[in-house]
Every structure is written in structure tokens, then in C-alpha cells.
Amino acid sequence: MTRETNRADRHAEFSLVSPQATAGAIVAEPATRPEKITADAVVLFLTEGGIGGGAAAELDRATGGLITRLAAAGEITGKRHECVPLLAAPGLEAGQLLVVGLGKREEVECGVLYRAAATAARHLAGRPRTKVVFVADGWWSARQVEQAVAGAAVGMVGQDLYRAEPRRIRFGATVWTNASPETVRTGATIADGVNLARRLVNTPPDDLYPQSFAEEAAAVAGRTGMEIEIWDEERLRRERCEAMLAVGRGSSRPPRLVILRYRGPGRDAGARSPRGDAPDLALVGKGVTFDSGGLSLKPSDSMLSMKCDMAGGAAVLAATATIAALRLPVHVVAAIGLVENMTGPAAYKLGDVITARSGTTIEVHNTDAEGRVVLADVLDVVRELQPRAIVDAATLTGACMVALGQDVAGLFSNDQPWCDTLAAAARAVGEPVWQLPMYADYDEHIKSEVADIKNVGDGRWGGAITAAKFLERFVGGIPWTHVDIAGPAFAEKSRPWTDGGATGAMVRPFVELVRGPA
Ligand code: BES
Ligand code: MN
Ligand code: ZN
């Protein structure tokens, strides 16, 4: 057994984030002559510009110019997401050579490589594969290799958690050549995070509810060495989390608040830091494990995908676990508000006035605007810890999807530099985000005649912004950015790079945010 294979086994066995999530070994191996590679498939990334030098030229030579001939005939173009399997290619021992397109070379960035590798992996994962070899190219940066590794490990995982005959079958082993073992390890860990978030979101709501989510979080915390606190109803009552409790009252599944803490190297308790012991960052997640709309009941069509309404919480848990598994030098606190929004006899009602933990009173105008009510208390809990900055992720409004579509997350902030930092991190890994305005005029829209504020804006316009304005009331002036992931968290349909369902949106951006620019 080679040293590399050893390392591979270690990754599979000790995947800190989520052993069930990715599975299979993911390893780096030194490049050998392409004709000698034994594998079910070899994956080659090809740009639109043609073969050039590097990996493509070598494989072209090994196959006696096959790629050149097919490119000349227009059978292979290198266009983005094009997948051309060359079965039993001459000169190769491998079962097939899969050529996947990268598009124009000058436009290749982390996000392009993540998706291209995921496309190839998703394609191959349609059948059982013992070993798949991905050939990284010499001109890619370490960050780009890492994101490609992550993409491949995400692409081979589907949403078919409950099918007797799964549509995607994970590879026995994934091998990357021309990549450093450390880069591959990091990429595989990031993929574990994305796949953990996806699994949690894809799990049906009767299996994943506040308490079972909290148990999952405890298991993850145990593996990655995070501290965890779980507040049950009694603790929530003692802590005056009446907003969270109100939303949870219509359900037979009581709410939970999960608080995770990770102290990286140099940021342990009592560390002599100029910043004292306050967290560097607080991540906050909306964890509505099912959103029926409550008494303001959703129509059936809109309710169908509402198991996804804890995607913000899943992203926050998975990103924090990944940050801990990578042992990044930060002090992060993560808080996830877990409730089920239902219509039971004790359900909160329209016209109710709730006193949130901060003392702000909220008049309920629509029980389907429950996410902001839950987050009011969660934000107040982290505000008390006085972190340097806050980010929250929430599948908060359909209005954000009306504004930006299904693939772009909305950003809202009280602090432009902090918002810019998060936007840069998201774009660096290829997740599109777009900022919406927070003009003071919108504050008028959530004023109530009866209480301090109401939980929906006047009329239906600007609904994503009035929701963000509501949240802003609870962050106490700390630099804060809200990410509305109602669109990108959950894909209605499959795409070349992913099966439909949960996407793991914002896991990679949050990890990137903590790492800082490469
Ligand atoms: N969870 C929904 C938002 C959502 C919609 C997420 C579609 C993912 C896909 C949220 O709780 C909600 O219902 N928002 C309402 C707010 C309205 C009542 C002011 C909405 O967007 O319709
Ligand atoms: Mn709702
Ligand atoms: Zn919701």
C-alpha cells in the first residue's frame, strides 16, 4: 500500500465533519504516465481554446492524437459542462477517458472548476465506479485545485437518500494527480461540509425536526471538537426567547436553540488577544425544519419544498464544522434557531403581540413570516456575546427570489465594508450574491399601530428588504450582513453539476470568509 493510499483511508475514516456525507477515499497521487493509469475512468478538463500544453497534450499523445482528431471534427468543443466519454480509448488502460469542458481559459476561476468537476463526477456516479482519476492541470492555482476537488466530491452525491436504487453511487476511491496532498485534503473537507448541509436539508421533515437537528449538531460538534449548548423549551423560556417559542407553539415538536463555539489555535479562552475573549465572528442560521406557513397556511405547491427552510441553519452548522475540521485560527460562535411552523391548537395567531428577548414587541400580521420572528431572538443571543461581526443565513423571503432569481443570494447589511468582505468571499468560490439597499425609508414599512414593529411590511413590495430591516432591529449596531438564500438553497431541477434538491449554498463562502483571500 502506498503512502498516498494510507492517507486516503484516513480521510474516509476520520472525516470529522460528516463520515456519512461524502464517503470513499479522496487522495492525491503523483502523476504517472497517462497510459499506465489503472482506473474505471480518467477525467480530463479541456478549455475551449484547444489542447495547448499540459494534461490535455499528454493524454492526446498517449491516445495517438485522439483528442485532436475529435476536436477537429467538432465532437469535442471544451464548452462549459460538455461531457464527452471516450470509452476504451486507444493507448489507455483506464476504462474510459471523460473529457469535460471548462469554457474559455481566461474565464476559468474557482467556481467554474467546482462545477466542471462536479459535472464530471455526477456523470460518472450514475454507475458504480471503483476508482476515478481526475487530472488537475499545472496552470490551476492551489485554491482552484481545492475547489475542483470539492466539486467532484459533491457531484457524486445525489438527493436519493431513501431510494432502494440510488441514482448516484459514490466512487470507491477518487484520485487527484498534479495536486498536493494538502490541497486535496482541504478540498475533501470542504466537500464534507457541503454534503453535510445537503444531507440535512434533503432529509424529510418528519425525520429532521428541531430535536433531531440538534442531535445531529451534537454529533458533529463531538467529532470536530466544538463546544455545544442546546437550549430546550424550558431554557428558552428562562432566556425570554418568546419569539422563538411563539413560532414553535403550533407544533408537537418543541423548538431548540443550538449554540456552537469553536476556538482555533491562538484563540483559546483567556488567550491574550487585543480583542479579548469576544468571538471574531458569529454565524446565525434560520432553522425552520418545516414551514407550513402556520395559520397563514401556504398553498400546497409552495409548501412542498419547505423542508428546505432550515438550509441557513444547515449551512451555518456545516461551515462552522468545516472551519473547525480545518483548524482555522479564529473564534467562531454559531447559533441556529430550530422550530417547526405548524397550525396546531396552540399556534400563534394574527394580531398576537410577542415580546422578543430584546424587549422589542412584535405584532403578528402573517404567521408565514416566521423566519424573522425566530431570528429576532437568535440574533439577540449572539448580540449579547458582542462578536466583532455577524452574518446570518436564512431562506427568508420569496420576494428575494422574485428580485434575484433562483441562483443568486441577496445581501443586506448595516456595514458596507463587512458586506463587501462577504461578497468577495462568495464570489471567490463562485457563488453569486447581490446586495439590496437598506434605506431608512423602509423602516416605516414595519411600524405597527399596536406594537414596536410588525412582522410584514405594508403592501407586498420590497418584501426581502423589509424582512432584512426587521432583522436589523436585533443586531444592536454590530457589523452584520444578512444572506437571503431562499433561491440558491434548493434547486427545483437537476443541473449538469448537481442533482436537484439541496445545494449546500453558503457553506463554501463562509469557510472562505474565515480563511481570507488566498
Ligand atoms: N420560508 C419562506 C420563504 C421561502 C419561499 C423560502 C420560497 C424558500 C422558497 C418564508 O418563511 C416565507 O414564507 N416568507 C413569506 C413572507 C411573507 C408572508 C411576508 C413569503 O416570502 O411569501
Ligand atoms: Mn414562512
Ligand atoms: Zn420560512
DSSP line for 290-311: EE--TTSPPPHHHHTTGGGGGH
Q: Which three cell numbers stand for residue 26?
A: 479522496
Q: Which three cell numbers stand for residue 341?
A: 411552523
pLDDT score for 23: 62
For the segment 216-223, the average pLDDT, to the nearest whole number, is 97
Half-sphere exposure of 405 (CA within 13 A, CB side): 5
The amino acid sitting at 334 is A
Return d(Cα 88, Cα 93) in angstroms, integer: 8
- Phi, psi for residue 241 in degrees, rounded to 5: -85, 60
Q: Which numbered atom of ligand 1 lies nearest the CA of 302? A: 7
Residue 97 pairs with which residues in a beta bridge?
42, 86
Residue 39 carries which DSSP code?
S
Segment 10-24, tens digit of pLDDT = 444 446 676 655 567
pLDDT score for 88: 95
For the segment 368-381, the average pLDDT, to the nearest whole number, is 99
Return d(Cα 210, Cα 293) in angstroms, integer: 17
Among 20-34, 62-76, 229-243, 291-305, name the one with the lowest average pLDDT: 20-34
Question: 290, 372, 397: which to mutate for ligand 1, most atoms within 8 A of CB?
Answer: 397
pTM for the predicted model, two decimal places: 0.96
Return d(Cα 363, Cα 189) in angstroms, integer: 44
Nearest to 429 by CA among 358, 332, 512: 512
Q: Which three cell numbers stand for residue 472?
A: 436589523
Return d(Cα 295, Cα 394) in angstroms, integer: 21
Locate all alpha helices (DSSP H) within 250-361, ordered by sequence: 300-303, 311-325
Domain with CATH 3.40.630.10 in the chain: 194-515
Are the CB atoms for 508 and 494 separated by under 8 Å?
no
Catalytic residues: 298, 372
pLDDT score for 6: 36
Among 24-33, 376-385, 460-469, name the one with the lowest average pLDDT: 24-33
504 has a pLDDT exceeding 90: yes
For the segment 250-276, the average pLDDT, to the nearest whole number, is 88
Tally DSSP H helices, then E strands, for the chain. 16, 19
Q: Which three cell numbers stand for residue 320?
A: 462552522
Return d(Cα 49, Cα 251) in angstroms, integer: 57
Return d(Cα 470, Cα 452) in angstroms, integer: 11
Q: Which numbered atom of ligand 1 lies nearest the CA of 309? A: 1
SS3 state at 124: helix
Return d(Cα 504, Cα 319) in angstroms, integer: 10
Return d(Cα 73, Cα 79) in angstroms, integer: 15
Distance 368 CA to ligand 2 centre (A): 4
Distance 325 CA to ligand 1 centre (A): 33
Mean confidence (pLDDT) of the chain: 94
Q: What is the DSSP string of 195-240?
A: HHHHHHHHS-TTTS-HHHHHHHHHHHHHHHT-EEEEE-HHHHHHTT
Domain with CATH 3.40.220.10 in the chain: 3-180
Give the N- to C-terminal CA distance of the chain in Å, as an integer.
34
Pocket residues: Cβ below 6 A from ligand 1: 291, 309, 366, 368-371, 395-399, 456, 463, 486
pLDDT score for 17: 72
Q: Which numbered atom of ligand 1 lies nearest the CA of 398? A: 21
Distance 369 CA to ligand 2 centre (A): 5
Per-residue burial over 99-114, b if 16 or more Cβ lie within 10 Å, else e, is: bbbbbeeeebbbbbbb
Distance 139 CA to ligand 3 centre (A): 44
Fold of 3-180: Leucine Aminopeptidase, subunit E; domain 1 (3.40.220)
SS3 state at 186: helix
- Phi, psi for residue 283 in degrees, rounded to 5: -105, 135
The architecture (CATH level 2) of 194-515 comes to 3-Layer(aba) Sandwich (3.40)
Q: Residue with the nearest Cα to atom 14 of ligand 1?
A: 397
Are the CB atoms for 317 and 197 separated by under 8 Å?
yes
Q: Which numbered atom of ligand 1 lies nearest the CA of 455? A: 19
Among 15-24, 160-169, 451-460, name the one with the lowest average pLDDT: 15-24
Residue 446 carries which DSSP code?
G
For the segment 78-84, the average pLDDT, to the nearest whole number, is 97
Residue 122 carries which DSSP code?
H
Q: Parallel, antiparallel, or unpaired for β 501-502 and 490-491? A: antiparallel
4 has a pLDDT exceeding 60: no
The three-state (H, E, C) secondary structure of 409-441, written as one string: EEEEECCHHHHHHHHHHHHHCCCCEEECCCCHH
| Other C-beta atoms lying within 10 Å of the C-beta of residue 406 | 13
164 has a pLDDT exceeding 60: yes
Nearest ligand (C-alpha, residue 294): 2
pLDDT score for 3: 35
Are the CB atoms for 316 and 217 separated by under 8 Å?
no
pLDDT score for 34: 87
Residue 446 pairs with which residues in a beta bridge?
none
